[in-house]
Amino acid sequence: MSGFPIFRAVAEHGLLVEFGTRIDDATHAAVLALDRALAANPFAGFAEAVPAYVNLLVRFDPMVTDHRAVEAALRALITATPTEGLQGTRRVVDVVYDGPDLDEVAQRCSLSPEAVIAAHQGGDYQVALYGFAPGYAYLSGVPKAIALPRKEVAVRGVAAGSVIIAAGQCIVTTLTMPTGWWIIGHSPTVILDPQSARPFLFDVGDRVVFRRVAP
């Protein structure tokens, strides 16, 4: 997109790199490319990179470097890093399609419950970003046929492991919490393991396949 990337200072220890204003594959690929380039070639004082759909927050040690030097380092990485052909790890997530909202999703989408399940399994899912809770990975790629908006009223006490969809996204919940998303099933796959050296199943950029299993 013309005029991007845009660099915005965040306090004394961060720089937000914006690659666009609309969520699309090309913009997100640019975010992922810079995230991976930083992991492979961190600049002096680099602390953390937090990817989202259209931007990347880069945190650094202000005792080591500053906004101007970080921007120069990031511009060099962006110029030298291709955005095509990025491949994340393929992850398989089991699903039991027994969610309390499955029938209503089918009704609202003018589909049968089995057609909703088939549509969900046919999505092209990519881990786009992590949200507000541990292991709470937002997956893009929900098919348009079942891309409902969020509910008008959230529901409390939704169990961990619930498979939920809304606004063209899918999440497998990791904690019991309220949600305004549509619950179409649950997964026995462990997404968050706090005791593991690698507590999250997914990395941003991974591809996810949902596999139907029996209750």
Instruction: Note the pLDDT tens digit of each residue in 204-214.
Output: 999 999 999 99
Same domain, 65 and 129: no
Structural domain tally of the chain? 2
As a whole-number percent, the residues of the chain with pLDDT over 70 amount to 98
Q: Are residues 140 and 70 in the same domain?
A: no
pLDDT band at 24 (very low <50, low <70, confident <90, very high): confident
138 and 73 in a single domain? The answer is: no
85 vs 149: which has the higher pLDDT: 149
Q: Indicate the average pLDDT of the chain.
A: 94
Look at residue 87 in the predicted model and tell me its pLDDT. 75
What average pLDDT does range 136-161 have in this prediction?
96
CATH code, domain with 49: 3.30.1360.40
The reply to whether 71 and 113 lie within a common domain is: no
Whether 48 and 21 share a structural domain = yes
175-185, pLDDT tens digit by residue?
Answer: 999 999 999 99
Asked whether residue 1 is domain-assigned, the answer is no
Mean pLDDT of 46-51: 95
Higher pLDDT, 85 or 166: 166
Whether residue 5 is predicted with pLDDT greater than 70 in this model: the reply is yes
pLDDT digits 0-9 by tens, 79-128:
988 877 667 899 999 999 999 999 999 999 999 999 999 999 999 999 99
Our CA angle for 64, 69, 71, nearest 5°, is 125
Question: What contacts 68, CB < 8 A, 6 or more positions away?
Answer: none
Same domain for 108 and 30: no
pLDDT of residue 85: 65
3-state DSSP of the chain: CCCCCEEEEECCCEEEEECCCCCCHHHHHHHHHHHHHHHHCCCCCEEEEEECCCEEEEEECCCCCCHHHHHHHHHHHHHHCCCCCCCCCEEEEEEECCCCCHHHHHHHCCCCHHHHHHHHHCCCEEEEEECCCCCCEEEECCCHHHCCCCCCCCEEEECCCEEEEECCEEEECCCCEEECCEEEEECCCCCECCCCCCCECCCCCCEEEEEECCC
Q: Considering 51, 80, 109, which residue would you say is the last residue of a domain? A: 80
Q: Are residues 109 and 147 in the same domain?
A: yes
- Residue 85 counted as domain residue: no
**Taking residues 154-160, what's their average pLDDT?**
96
Containing structural domain, residue 74: 6-80
CATH number of the domain where residue 162 is located: 2.40.100.10
Q: Does 197 fall in a domain?
A: yes
My answer on whether 45 and 133 are in the same domain is no
Average pLDDT over residues 20-30: 88
Say yes or no to pLDDT of 1 above 70.
Answer: no
Span 191-203, average pLDDT: 92
Residue 103 shares a structural domain with residue 48:
no
pLDDT of residue 44: 97
Query: Of the candidates 111, 94, 87, which has an alpha carbon nearest to the alpha carbon of residue 185?
Result: 94
Euclidean distance between CA atoms 196 and 32, whole angstroms: 25
Asked if 106 and 207 sit in the same domain, the reply is yes
